Amino acid sequence: MSRFTTALLFAAVSTLVAADFVIYDAAQSTAETAPVSGASFFASAPSCDDVYNTSLFSYTKDVSGDKLGVVCEGCTGEASAPEYDITSFEVNLGPDSPLGSFSASNLL
């Protein structure tokens, strides 16, 4: 289970994509590691315990085949999550995840 030091509501994606889940833009770190950015997925607005105990899927450039993670064109550290200009969002959470894999493009 992951521990989060930062979790920002990723409202830009959750409102643009018709879906039955919420996406949080998050960073995970420990005392020994640098922060890793990624996204976490929830069935509804999460509690603090949900955020604390969920998995973080790292941002990456390729989620084809068996590569897990999130590709987000327009998600940038230059802006806060609600200001992202997302043009493409691809996800592969693996075969055991209820969300599996999906993509959305031309979001605006």
Tell me, letter by letter, the H, E, C secondary structure of the chain: CCCEEEEEECHHHHHHCCCCCEEEEEEECCCCCCCEEEEEEECCCCCHHHHHCCCCEEECCCCCCCCCEEEEECCCCCCCHHHCCCCEEEEECCCCCCCCEEEEECCC
Model confidence pLDDT, tens digit, residues 15-68: 444 557 788 888 888 888 888 888 888 888 889 999 888 888 888 999 988 899
Q: What is the pLDDT of residue 86?
A: 81
pLDDT tier for residue 14 given thresholds of 50, 70 and 90? very low
Residue 16 φ/ψ region, left for φ over 0, alpha for ψ in the -120 to 50 degree band, beta for the rest = alpha
4 pLDDT exceeds 50? Answer: no
Mean of the per-residue pLDDT values of the chain: 74
